Each structure stands twice: as C-alpha cells, then as structure tokens.
Structure 1
Amino acid sequence: MGQAIQLKRGNSANLASLSLVAGEPAFVLDTGKLYIGTGTDKVLINPDQGTVASADKWTTPRTITVNGDATGSVQIDGGSNVILTITETASGVTAGTYPKVTVNAKGEVTAGATLTTSDIPTLTLSKISDAGTAASKSVGTASGNIPVLDSNGKLDTNILPALALTSTNVVASQTAMLALTAEPGDLAVRTDLNKTFILKAAGASTLANWQELLTPTDSVTSVAGKTGAVTLTSSDVGLGNVTNESKATMFANPTFTGTVTLPTPSSGDNSTKGATTAFVNNAIAIIDGGIF
C-alpha cells in the first residue's frame, strides 16, 4: 500500500494566521480553496470562475436614483466615492413663521396658519404667573370681594358706610379739646372761650393742629330795632314815602306834581330837553325886537 499525502487543512477564519513554507499546500475546508506557500506568503490556486481578486472600477457604471418626498441621482462606477445630492420636494407651504402648523405622518409640515380662539386652551389662574392678587378675587359686595362701579360710574351705597365730613364736638377746656378722638375737618366748640376750632391736620392731641375759626368782632343784636327773624319794610328804614316801582315804568309818561325843578338848557338849545321857565323867558326876550 502506498503512502498517503496529508495536507494542512482548516477553516477560512484561521487563514490569516496560516504560515506555509515554499511549496507547502493547505486546504480550506469551509470554502474549498487550495493555497500553496511561497515561503513569504500563500497563493490561491483555485479561484472562483468569472471573478477576480480586485478591480479598479466596474465595467458598467450604475446610476443611483432617489424618488418620492426627495429627488436626486448620481452615477457610480466603483472607481471613486460619489456624493448624492438630494432635493426635498416642496410641501406647498409658503416660507415663513407660523404659530400653528399641520404635520403629516412623515413629520413634514403640510400647512401653516394663525391661532384662533379655539386653539387657545382655558387656563386656570394657577397657570398664570403675573395675574396679580386681585385676579383671584370674586366680584361682589361681600367680604373679600372686589366691588365694581354701576352704570353711573359709582360704587354701590351698600359698600360705603355713612360718612360724616365734619364732626362737631362741644368741649369746656383746651384739655378736653386735645383729648378728642378727631379727624382733620372736625370742629371743637370751646364753651370756655366762646370760640370754635377746626382740626387742620392729623393729631388732635397737638394744639398746633387746631385752627381757630374767625368770627366778626361785633355781634349784631338787632336790625332797625327788630330782633329774631327780621322782616323789614320801607317804613322801618325811613322810606315810607317811596313807591316800589321799577325803573322801566317810573320814567314812562310820568305825571309830576308840585314844583318840578329842571336844569335850564343853554340859549338856542334845540334838543328834546325839558324847557324851564327861565329858558322860555330868555327865548321870548330874544324874539321881541324891543320898543323904539
């Protein structure tokens, strides 16, 4: 029986670390390849039919094309890297800034619009940081409410208490006046001085804040000899003979009685002035030519 020739054998995973001496064969079990050592490397002696170990480029170039929401194409022959430029298909929305947009399932903006009332949700006060404390109050007249003006621009009378603009206090001394609980505008009638003071500034206990009200130096005790609620007549003031007549009727067609005295017009006066006897006598004397 002849001797068998045994070859080195193994899988392609270990091929890279395989070292063969010149002329030494090795068989790769999982690919069926046979290699022969050269002393420095190994050579494949049964390559696949119709293939080459390497090539600079493809015999027939190929074109890569992109269609759909984006378009573009580039030709490649394997000889070098290429760049495929893609142009996005216009969505039909005019360029700009929109507060509200519509997006399709691909994440593309298909429409833009402005906000409407229905787009704004109802916000509770807790979500508004600068509303102020008054915003949390209710409108009304109860405690803690905010009152509103009526149609006349005034507050409801139920809101404001009755106000006294001036309070009059009768006191018998300065000490009592300074002890008053008073506000500016209040009066203090001093019976010890027969004088009245008004509080002109806050602080009723400070004498300088009280201002004396001026009164006439002499009091009127009677009028034309009458006291109390006085009603005067013309006789009360020495005008008993005077007729209460208006100027409009007094000088319209008056009737004179007694001796009426008028200023005498100058000689030759031809106006509508009243002619006195002196004026008439003088006029007659001028007309008379005299005796010769």
Structure 2
Amino acid sequence: MLRPGVRRPSDERAATRWKDGRVTTQRRPTEEARAAEELGAQARAADEARAADAAADAADVTATKPLVRAARAPIPDGPARRVRPTAQQLAAAQHETIPDVLATDLRVLFCGINPGLWSAAIGKHFARPGNRFWPALHASGFTPRLLGPYEQEELPRYGLGLTNVVSRASARADELAPEEFREGGRILAAKVAEYRPRWVAILGIGAYRTAFDRKQARVGPQPEPLSGSRVWVLPNPSGLNALWTTPRLADAFRELRDCACG
C-alpha cells in the first residue's frame, strides 16, 4: 500500500522498485544511450585490434641486413593448443601459403581473402587472435561446439571446407593487387568445379567485387553461380571490421546455414 502523498512514477522509462513502503526509481537507458554504448564498445574493440595489428606490423618490418628464414611455429601440445609466432616467424611468413581444407560435395566452402601473417606462420586458417570466424561459425550452428584453427581438419565432417581467394600471405589485404584477386578468382572457379560444393561463401565483399568484377554486389546470396555452385558473400570476420560485431556476424552466418543446411 502506498504511503499518503507517495505517487507511482509515470515516466515510461523509469523502473520502479518498492521496499519497506518506499518507492525508488531507476532510469532505463534510452535507445540513443544504448546505441552510443554499443558504438563505444565497437570503437574500443577496433582500437584494440588496430593496436595489435600495429604491433605485429612493426614486428614484420625487417632490418636492412638479410633475413634468416625461420621455420613455421610448431603445433603445441596440450589441450590449449595455442602458439604465438615470433617476430622472425611472422616476417618469414610473408608470401607463404596455407593448405586448403577440402573434400568433394561439401555443403559450404568458406573462402577467405588471403592468409594473414599469423595464420601463415602456423599454417592454419583464421588463426590470429581476435578473428571472429570460429566463434561465428559455432554461434550460427554450423558446428556443435567451438572449434579453433588447430581443429580445422574436422570441418569436412560437418560438410565444411576452407580456402582463400588469394593464396599468398600478407600483413594486410590492401597489399594485394587487383590482378591477384582476379587470378585468385579464376583459380577458385577451377577449384569449385573440381570439388563441387553446394555453396561458396566468400568472406569479404571487396574481395568478391574485385575478383569477379561484381561492383554492385552486396552481402548475402548472389545471383550468379560460380562453376555451378551457389555463392554467398559474408562480412570479413577480422577484428578490424568493427561494424560487424560477433552477434551480427553470427546472424549473417546463420542466414547462410539456413539455406545451405535447411
């Protein structure tokens, strides 16, 4: 029961709590405040990713003396199975390639832009910390549990595979020339013709537009098939792509899954 003179707050944005006959109100955040908070979180995540990339790029810069080629980082033992490449290994990974994960008649062949130096240094796809490919793959329902780059060979059992538009590694995708993308598109078309996946999912709208001369393409299913397979363009899962949070990426992946596995 209300005490005399106490009125229930009428503000629709206020949350009311009653205790010992007293009323207190707590403001709920407005839509604008929630949007600002989300943008702030995205900006902080982007800043952290840029700082990590800047540190890696600095490590990739070689001295004027000839570089002694370093072997790829070994696969670690133990359940964590994590490894951090050294600066020398990252520098040596420039222009390296990563083996595809392929099988015939896959449900979806995921196609990255090109390997980053971290991935090339350890020989695994989407290996750099902060890349959201593996979390989005699981959150969207493609895999029953969260896999990691050292478990990439398990993907064909779920009807999934991995490749890249451009095979050579680089510190940044903008180091690749347009002709490399076009040549990579031709190689990918031949690969798709051989392995016949139902869908080809290209992880990067810019890479797709350049490789296949589709300047008006948008994220989502594409009207033009590739060597008989349907094509779906997904956002780049790099941590630098702050406009696409992990939940948004998972939603985009889930749309593809509903079509490919439904």
TM-score by length of 2: 0.15
Q: Which has the higher contact order (CA 8 A, sep 6+)?
A: 2
Mark the structure with the bigger radius of gyration. Answer: 1
Where is the strand percentage greater, Structure 1 or Structure 2?
Answer: 1
TM-score by length of 1: 0.14
